[in-house]
Structure 1
Amino acid sequence: MTENISNEDLRCIGCGSEIQTDDKNALGYTPSSALEKAKDTGEIYCQRCFRLRHYNEISPVSLTDDDFLALLNQIREANALIVYLVDIFDFNGSLIPGLHRFVGDNPVMLVGNKADLLPKSLKNSKLKDWIRQRSNEAGIRPIDVELVSAKTNESVDSLLENIDKYRKNRDVYVVGVTNVGKSTLINQIIRQNTGIKELITTSRFPGTTLDKISIDLEDGHKLIDTPGIIHQEQMAHYLNGKDLKIVEPQKQIKPKVYQLNPEQTLFFGGVARFDYVNGDKKHGFTVYVENDLFIHRTKLINADNFYEKHFGEMLTPPSEDSIKEFPELVRYEFKTDQKSDLVIEGLGWITVPSGVVVAGWAPKGVSVLLRRAMI
């Protein structure tokens, strides 16, 4: 696959927004002087992307969820292969509600990103089966399931071969929710074929790509990176960049097993909490979260007071400069009838045994759910 960035109009190659020099507060703004300099190199970035790339500063996005969906609805009329990227570590938070509404009859290839974060003991074949089953439950019938790590370039070559196999002289649309690594994957594809590194803006912040970004394929068709659909239920929307570094896994997860008696609690910094509410005996609970996230065990009867006393100090993140805006924790209780994962979207999960009552606490607006155990 050979690609060149499409130059049909003057657009930011970081986020896809149309370049303009009039309104500092609107998408695509770049100063006239910067634009003239950029024209010499052919690499034009809006001011928002420039500041994000060089200073890790994020500006508010003026596009609404409806704007994003309107852009994606164009796919329904296209004749294309849909490459649907999900974050394996945040699988449930990666699912797009009503995906079928805007892909139409186009085939879907499901790609699980961040495979490097899971323990090597988990075989790819088992993980693919698990992903396919969970996808089927969500009404998605992929023609294939692939596993990659866009960050480390793991299995990207294999993915490109399979994209060529399934696209059959059609365009390719890459879709997904925010923060699953779409732009990182597209950058790997560009780097492999052109040698250009990090052309598209990437960040831990949700909503970096704001419009479609087209890459020419060798047969005249295009690979198109679409805006990420914003899920307000993701943990990333409630943390600043500094806190996200502590919550989002950066390397392979090392599972931690906690032997808990009934009525014991685990705190995950100040962002989440897990209660073993009721059961017949002591059980082992396996925790899959960022390795450096602080976890504290205490008695359930003392948990509320402990949180109130130590939130933002011992229990961090959130850090001191963001605790005022951090939502209250909301409780969700479950009774298990099989080995299950209690998932706190964007944070990770706790694998729990059958026949117990447990509760998960997350910031108001963040989803907590129970699913069939992945591992």
Structure 2
Amino acid sequence: MTQEQLQASRCAGCGIPLHSEDPKKPGFVPASSLDKEEAICQRCFRIKHYSEASSVTVDQDEFLKLLGGIASTNSLVVHIVDLFDFQGSLISGLQRFVGNNPVLLVVNKIDLLPPVTNWNRLRNWVQKQASEEGLKVVDVVLCSARRNIGFDRVVEAVNSLRQNKDVYVVGATNVGKSTLINRLISDYSDLKRELTVSRYPGTTLDAVHIPLDDGKSIIDTPGIVYSWRMSEIIPRKDLAALLPDKPLKPLTYQLNEKQTLFFGGLARFDFVEGERQSFTAYLSSGLPVHRTKLERADELYEQHRGVMLSPPSLEDLESMPAWTRHRLRIPANSKQDIFISGIGWIQTNGKTGATVDVHAPRGIKVMLRESIL
């Protein structure tokens, strides 16, 4: 089968147009399977033969087209978010696409927080943050895909809320969506039946329906790619340094005004104005932190970016957006986090307030939020 013929054909499992160019994109089929009469994409193959869903990704526009059909269904929507990158992975506009369908918010990677975390307070924090982003949720479940913590509660919540409905699973990339779907498949699905397809008007992207024993389906949607997350713009070889795989060890710095912290070569934090106070960074242990005076920060960056101040490497810096400055004013007597999507957050601890600047690649989400801890 030629590439032209391949592009004109569709997956026998989910109906998506097939291609053999990029394994990360929906519809990929290995070249060795091109001549099969009823070829199925790699994602359907893994679901059908191994009871495993694999991650595929799409950009924001394609994803929003896919979401457009959910409001007209009678479904449970399971939205998975990354606790480490909460504001970066939350689909804030989800409510207008799902209509009156209930939304279960599953918060993954709780194993990164200290064991002494007040989990009830954290659930309340999650509900408040989601509400501020315009998302109404019927329940919040905390879990860890990596450590297999809390997944029984996720399955119980789905079972309780589903009430003979289809289940749409949505989320950004790298939030643990495939792990949850695989668990739901093992608990609910009879994979002897064929996969089915759901197509929505105006889009070439198809969601994969995984049949359940009661005739309903888990609908596996591709992971949405958000350009405001640091994990989407850095080279893949640097992800291990950026994404933590063990509990975060808080790094507390007593800073005078006019002092600076560099987080590798990915971001810079300037304490511009305020009384001496402490700032606590929660980030991956693979990302080195360097401290200097604000007056030397520009010179230090020019001399050491890509080498001492890394990741990324000097070569990779050329393909990344230039830094932009975010000025943030922290109110007195308030516990706030300075959130940098994909890097983590800096908890402020002072009672007198402060003015800070955060320098990060253009487009990366930087914001103040109520402290998570």
| TM more than 0.5 | yes
1:34 equivalent to 2:33? Answer yes
Give the deviation of 1:138 after TM superposition: 1.4
Distance 1:32 1:313, change over 3 A: closer
Equivalent AA in structure 1 for residue 306 of structure 2: G
- List per-residue Cα deviations over 1:59-115 (Å, max 9, x = no partner): 9x7x55322211111111110011111111111112223212210110111111111
Equivalent AA in structure 1 for residue 274 of structure 2: G
Aligned partner of 1:189 in structure 2 is 184
1:308 equivalent to 2:302? Answer yes
Contact 1:112/1:147 (<8 A) preserved: yes
Aligned partner of 1:294 in structure 2 is 288
CA distance in 2, matches of 1:335, 1:176: 31
Give the deviation of 1:195 after TM superposition: 12
Equivalent AA in structure 2 for residue 347 of structure 1: I
Equivalent AA in structure 2 for residue 313 of structure 1: V
Counterparts of 1:92-107 in structure 2 under 5 Å?
A: 92-107=87-102
Aligned partner of 2:240 in structure 1 is 245
Q: What's the C-alpha RMSD, in Å, of the aligned pairs? A: 2.9
Give the deviation of 1:33 after TM superposition: 3.5
Give the deviation of 1:246 after TM superposition: 0.5
Distance 1:299 1:193, change over 3 A: same
CA distance in 1, matches of 2:133, 2:109: 21
Equivalent AA in structure 2 for residue 110 of structure 1: L
CA distance in 1, matches of 2:279, 2:322: 25
Aligned partner of 2:359 in structure 1 is 361
CA distance in 2, matches of 1:371, 1:38: 54
CA distance in 2, matches of 1:259, 1:211: 52
Aligned partner of 1:205 in structure 2 is none
Distance 1:134 1:33, change over 3 A: closer
- Corresponding residue SS for 1:30: coil
CA distance in 1, matches of 2:118, 2:36: 50
CA distance in 2, matches of 1:261, 1:86: 35
Equivalent AA in structure 1 for residue 116 of structure 2: S
TM-score, normalised with respect to structure 2: 0.82
Give the deviation of 1:12 after TM superposition: 8.8
1:341 equivalent to 2:337? Answer yes
- Corresponding residue SS for 1:322: helix
Contact 1:268/1:296 (<8 A) preserved: yes
TM-score, normalised with respect to structure 1: 0.82
- List per-residue Cα deviations over 1:305-334 (Å, max 9, x = no partner): 101110000011002441211222211111
CA distance in 2, matches of 1:217, 1:227: 19
Give the deviation of 1:248 after TM superposition: 1.1
1:325 equivalent to 2:319? Answer yes
CA distance in 2, matches of 1:150, 1:19: 31
- List per-residue Cα deviations over 1:228-270 (Å, max 9, x = no partner): 2322111122111111111111221111111111111110000
Aligned partner of 1:218 in structure 2 is 213
Q: Which moved more, 1:326-335 or 1:64-73?
A: 64-73
Contact 1:254/1:288 (<8 A) preserved: yes
Contact 1:107/1:142 (<8 A) preserved: yes
Counterparts of 1:29-108 in structure 2 under 5 Å?
A: 29-30=28-29, 33-35=32-34, 45=42, 64-108=59-103
Aligned partner of 2:370 in structure 1 is 372
CA distance in 2, matches of 1:109, 1:194: 20
Percent of aligned pairs sharing the same letter: 43
Segments of structure 2 that go 5 or more residues without pairing to the other structure are: 1-8, 47-54, 192-204
Distance 1:246 1:37, change over 3 A: farther
Out of 267, 270, 282, which is 2:265 matched to? Answer: 270
CA distance in 2, matches of 1:194, 1:12: 19
Contact 1:361/1:368 (<8 A) preserved: no
Give the deviation of 1:193 after TM superposition: 6.3
CA distance in 2, matches of 1:357, 1:12: 58
- Corresponding residue SS for 2:271: strand
CA distance in 2, matches of 1:44, 1:94: 27
- Corresponding residue SS for 1:244: helix
- Corresponding residue SS for 2:325: strand
Distance 1:143 1:34, change over 3 A: same
CA distance in 2, matches of 1:234, 1:17: 31
Segments of structure 1 that go 5 or more residues without pairing to the other structure are: 1-8, 50-57, 197-209
Q: Which moved more, 1:147-156 or 1:104-113?
A: 147-156
Aligned partner of 2:133 in structure 1 is 138
Give the deviation of 1:19 after TM superposition: 5.8
Contact 1:253/1:291 (<8 A) preserved: yes
